[in-house]
Amino acid sequence: MANWTDIEMVEAVLHHDNHTLERCYRDCKSYFTAHAGAFFVAETLIDDIFQESMIHLWREIETRRIELCDGRLHRWNQGTLQPLNCSLRTFLLSIAKRKHWEQLRKQEHEVLTDDVRLLDSSRYGDAPPAEADEREVRERVVTDAVLGMSDRCRQILTMFYYEHRSLDEILALRAENTSKVGLKTSKYKCMQRLRDTVRAEFQRLRLHP
């Protein structure tokens, strides 16, 4: 039994209430650990998948893809706002299941790629969003594109943009890159793929890039 409500969690995310968020995080982790065994084959992936899924969930709330409406949680799907028919914890498990399958597929094909996972265009609908919703839809498209990055791209771009490391520092920390030129090229390719993915979706929805 959760000691918090879904609404409490949504409000904690929107108001940056870290104390409540930590409590929600620990509850979600206990729930996840208790139920993940039924879905996941590889136990070594559980912690990573849990954290990725939590980030995904929080970003959906921050970009208001999941929002509170008439005292109930709703979610934007295929361009329309629909009631969320499950708890956030169950939704978290569904995110995790998808990520788990993606991980297994990646391992199976042994593909080391800088590709960004293709966006599921059906999530944004076919019609251009209303002007008032444009900003939020743009953010969701970018959120999904960044969530779909390869681990390699995520590591390089996070070190560069979040940790503000120089290319020399990143080169020293990453054994996979052997030259600064190679690293610069990788960074450029990662960003370019993100731009292309996002721009393609923006064009389809007739949003300004």
Partner 1 sequence: MEVKLYNNESEETMDELDQLIAHEINSQAQWQAMMQDWEQRKRRQRRLRLLPVISNIVSVAALMVLGFFIQSLMPEAKLADQNKADQLIPVIEKLVTPTDSTVIESVSPTRP
- Chain positions 50 to 79 lying near partner 1, rule: CB under 8 A, are 51, 54-55, 58-59, 62
Is 158 among the residues that bind partner 1 (CB under 8 A)? yes
| 208, 137 contact by CB (below 8 A) | no
Shortest reach from residue 22's CB to partner 1, in Å: 5
How many CA within 13 A on the CB side of residue 31?
19
Sequence letter at residue 106: K
- Chain positions 102 to 131 lying near partner 1, rule: CB under 8 A, are none
Which CB, 71 or 209, lies closer to partner 1? 209
Binding track, positions 3-22, relative to partner 1; x by CB under 8 A: ---------------x--xx
Is 146 among the residues that bind partner 1 (CB under 8 A)? yes
Shortest reach from residue 43's CB to partner 1, in Å: 17
Sheet with 66-69: strands ordered across? 66-69, 72-77, 80-83
Q: How far apart are CA 137 and CA 81, in angstroms?
A: 12
Shortest reach from residue 73's CB to partner 1, in Å: 20
Strands (DSSP E) found in the chain: 66-69, 72-77, 80-83
Q: Which residues are CB-neighbours of 61 under 8 A, at least 6 positions away? A: 9, 10, 13, 14, 67
User: Strand, helix or coil at 170?
Assistant: helix
Q: How far apart are CA 168 and CA 182, in angstroms?
A: 12
Is 176 among the residues that bind partner 1 (CB under 8 A)? no
Shortest reach from residue 193's CB to partner 1, in Å: 11
Shortest reach from residue 69's CB to partner 1, in Å: 23
- Residue from 77, 136, 139, 171 touching partner 1 (CB under 8 A): that is 139
Shortest reach from residue 47's CB to partner 1, in Å: 9
Give me the phi and psi of 165, to 5 degrees please: -85, 150
| 177, 183 contact by CB (below 8 A) | yes
The binding site for partner 1 (CB under 8 A) comprises 18, 21-22, 25-26, 51, 54-55, 58-59, 62, 138-139, 142-143, 145-147, 154, 157-158, 160-167, 191, 194-195, 198-199, 209
